[in-house]
Amino acid sequence: MHFLKYIPAIFLLLSMGSCTETTSEPELSNPYDPENPAYEPPHATITESPEDGKVLNTDSIVIQWEGVNNESQFRYQLENYTSGWSEWQSKTSVTFAHLDEGDYRFKVMEQFVSGDRQEDTTSVSFSVDAVEGPSVLLEKQLLKINTGNHFSVQVKAEEVEDLMGLSFLLTFDPSLLQLENISEPTGFLGENADGTSFLTTPVDTANQEGAIEINASRLGGDPQGVSGTGKIAVLNFSATARGHTAITFKPDNCSMRDSTNKDIAIHKTRGSTIVIE
C-alpha cells in the first residue's frame, strides 16, 4: 500500500518528460537550399566549344555545356545569329550551321528546379572566316521569312585584290520570290573612284525569267582597283508564297577583273537558302 501512493507522482514525472519540446536538425541533404553548407549556386560550364577568341574556317559548330545539377534547365543565345534567348530546356548541346562571316558570342545560363537562376552568363566568343577569297557571295546563307514579308540580301566581294570590276548572274524562283529593286551601295567599289558603272537586269524582266545579271565597275581612280571585302549590290525581295527556295550564283556567268583588265580567278560563289513560312 505504501508503494501505491507514489504511483501518481511517478506518472506525473513521466508525463512531464514526454512533453519536453524537441527540435529537429536542419535538412542538409537538399542541394537547392541556400542554407545548406554544400549549396552551389546555378552556374553553367561550357565543356565543348571553339577556343575563346579563335577565328574559325568552318561555318558549322557544336557547343556543349553542363550545370551544377542534373535536373537543371538552361537557356542559350548566339549573338549575331539568334534573335534572342532560347526557351528554358534540359538540352545541354546545340549545333549552329550556316554561320556567316563575322563575330559571334555564345551565352548560356542555368536554372534550378527551385527557380534559382544563374545571375551572370557563361560565354565564349569567336569569329568565322570560312570563305577564302577572292569570292563573291550573298551575306546571309540562311534566311527565314514569313509569307508577305520583305527582305534584303547583300552581294559581297570577299578578300579581293586590285578589283576593277565584276559581273555575275543570280537565279531565283519567281513563284516564291519577287524582286522589288536593286541598289548600288556607296563605298568599296566607288571608294576614291572617278565614278562607277552599275548595270542590272530590269526588275520586270528579272521577275519573268527568275534571273538577275549585274555588271559593276570602277571608272578610274586612285588606286585604280580596290582590295579587301565590301558590298557590291543590295537586292530587295518580297516573299509571295510558302516554301523552300534559294538565290544562287551561276558560276560560269561570274567574273572579276583587275585594274589591268585581267581575269581574277574566283575561288568560290555562295548563295542563300530561303525558308518561307
Rg (CA), the chain: 33
| pLDDT score of 254 | 97
| pLDDT score of 38 | 81
| pLDDT score of 34 | 80
pTM of the full structure? 0.77
What is the spatial distance between Cα 187 and Cα 34, in angstroms, rounded to a whole number? 58
Closest among 133, 130, 122 to 60, alpha carbons compared:
130
| pLDDT score of 177 | 98
Q: Over the range 41-79, which residues count as b (16 or more CB within 10 Å of their CB) and which as e?
A: ebebebeebbeeeeebeebebebebbbbbeebbbbbbbe
Residues 86, 11 contacting (CB under 8 angstroms)? no
Q: What is the 3-state secondary structure (H, E, C) of 65-93?
A: EECCCCCCEEEEEEECCCCCCCCCECCCE
| pLDDT score of 11 | 47
Average pLDDT per block of 10 residues along the chain, 277 residues long: 51 49 57 82 97 96 96 97 94 96 97 94 97 94 95 96 97 98 94 95 98 96 94 98 97 96 96 96
| pLDDT score of 35 | 80
What is the spatial distance between Cα 173 and Cα 210, in angstroms, rounded to a whole number? 6
Report residue 215 as a C-alpha cell: 555588271
Closest among 186, 212, 208, 188 to 200, alpha carbons compared:
212
142-145 and 268-270: which strand pairing?
unpaired
Look at residue 8 and give its three-state secondary structure. helix
| pLDDT score of 83 | 87
Residues 143, 151 contacting (CB under 8 angstroms)? yes
The domains found in the chain, sorted by start residue, are 45-128 (2.60.40.10), 135-276 (2.60.40.680)
